[in-house]
Structure 1
Amino acid sequence: MKPEKILNISVDCVVFGYDTTTKSLNVLMIKRYLKDKQKILVNDYVLTGYHVYTHEKLDDTATRVLKELTGLTDQYKKQFKVFGDPNRLSNEKDLIWIKNEEFNLRTITVAYYFLLKTEDVDLSKNTNDAEWFPVNELPQVGFDHEKIIMEAYDDLKEKCLSEPIIFELLPDKFTINEVQDLYQSILGIEIDNRNFRRKLINKKYIIALDEKQIGVSKKPAQLYMFSKDIYDKVFQKNYLITI
């Protein structure tokens, strides 16, 4: 039996991915395109979302959406806000799309964001024309999805200063410079290198490894890892790093 959808409740997912090559925080979006005869009616990008099935928990819907988009399931996720403004889908292009797709104009969206590494997603196998965009260089965006993205981004910036979630965006083994680059990319600020390094390596849950970078042209840097076990033991409700 085909699952039954709740027609006015959906889940939208902001998938953040960090690209260690370009040192940029990105959002994964899909193309929204509709053509009538020779006229293009809609041509922009949106977040991936879907209606909630009657038998599903909201978290299950979000996980399903992520899996369909990326093939991944076990990623950091956070439900951060509900968007229910009566006029949130009133843009002309949105109304055209809604009529074509036959879904409820008064749809309430529960928004989640996910954290992953861009290299973990193989877009060549994606059937939805998915594409990564830097969070500060978004394309033309449909619905109220730019608002959803920016509110997710604000939450991420706040959360990364109080919880060790940035390590979800890094390799298991990383350098101090890679951690600093990631913080700078998320927060949009320059960080004093020497001060940052001292504070980070003094954290008990940042473990120095007996390994260095390989395959680099410059002097290889020391590698570290994040220990969640140690973090959980020493955690106190204060900032992870004071920048």
Structure 2
Amino acid sequence: MDFRKLDNLSVDCVLLKLENNALKVLLRKRSLNLFSENLPIIDDWVLPSHYVLKSNNLGETANRIFNELTGENHLNKSQFRTYGNANRINSDKDLLWIRSRGAKNRTITVAYYLILPSNKKLKQTEGLKWFKIQTLPELGFDHHKIINDAYQDIKSKINTEPLIFNFMQIKFTLNELQSAFETLLGIELDNRNFRKKITSKPYIVPLEEKRKGQSKKPSRLYMFSNEVYNQVVETDHIINI
């Protein structure tokens, strides 16, 4: 395997999850202090990323990042955009960071996103933190735009592809599913109408199990059947809310 990197081609990964009725993104701390009055101190956050190795393709590079973070290979990752604007790396901090890594100022980045369920634990946590996308900290490079583009891509597909179920635990209640839609789309749904539409979908499978919560009446659990969905995908929207 050739471990030399292509110093002008990188992969950035946007990991997303829903937690406490908020959409969150995973960021990595970026720190650099060369103790020079002429050089800026870098103390901000960036997306997890790697330069592409000469013996790897783009998908393999994304898999390497996701595996390092979660300990698993994920088939449901999505490549959604490429960033190659000549001026995308132009701040003093970003230029210093690039030079410290022996990379080129003109870097092309291919971005992927991966949706995780709320109960998914990370393999590593040092230097990593989940942030609400509405209250992001100071970010390096054009990572604010990359995060927003990933979010917009998910919103554009949420009614026609089963992306919503990647946010859910394997077994979920209808209230949890409705809350996920409301959080991602920033809307309020009529509870009765939503339940009627959901329960009419053959790929939303009711279980003989219930989840005890704060209410006196336990809530029935459901699962998403990908096998059934694939049989009706040509004629049926995922929810069509």
The CA RMSD over aligned residues, in Å, is 1.8
State the match for 2:23 in structure 1: 25
Query: Normalized against structure 2, the TM-score is what?
Result: 0.93
Deviation string 1:108-132 (CA, Å, 9 cap, x unpaired) is 0000000102431237x423x1000
Q: Give the secondary structure class of the aligned counterpart of 1:76.
A: coil
Deviation string 1:3-24 (CA, Å, 9 cap, x unpaired) is 12111111000111122xx122
Specify whether residues 94 and 237 from structure 1 end up closer, same or farther in structure 2 by C-alpha distance, changes over 3 A only.
farther
CA distance in 2, matches of 1:12, 1:122: 17
CA distance in 2, matches of 1:239, 1:18: 22
State the match for 2:131 in structure 1: 133
Where do residues 1-243 of structure 1 align in structure 2 (5 Å cutoff)? Answer: 3-19=3-19, 22-37=20-35, 41-74=41-74, 76-122=76-122, 125-127=124-126, 129-214=127-212, 216-236=214-234, 239-243=237-241
Query: Normalized against structure 1, the TM-score is what?
Result: 0.92
CA distance in 2, matches of 1:166, 1:95: 37
Specify whether residues 189 and 215 from structure 1 end up closer, same or farther in structure 2 by C-alpha distance, changes over 3 A only.
closer
Paired-residue identity, %: 43
Q: Is the 8 A contact 1:17 1:169 kept in 2?
A: yes
Q: Give the secondary structure class of the aligned counterpart of 1:102.
A: coil
By how many angstroms is 1:215 displaced? 5.5
The alignment covers a number of residue pairs equal to 239
Specify whether residues 218 and 37 from structure 1 end up closer, same or farther in structure 2 by C-alpha distance, changes over 3 A only.
farther
Specify whether residues 108 and 192 from structure 1 end up closer, same or farther in structure 2 by C-alpha distance, changes over 3 A only.
same
Q: Which runs of 5+ in 1 are unaligned?
A: none
By how many angstroms is 1:140 displaced? 0.8
Q: Give the secondary structure class of the aligned counterpart of 2:87.
A: coil
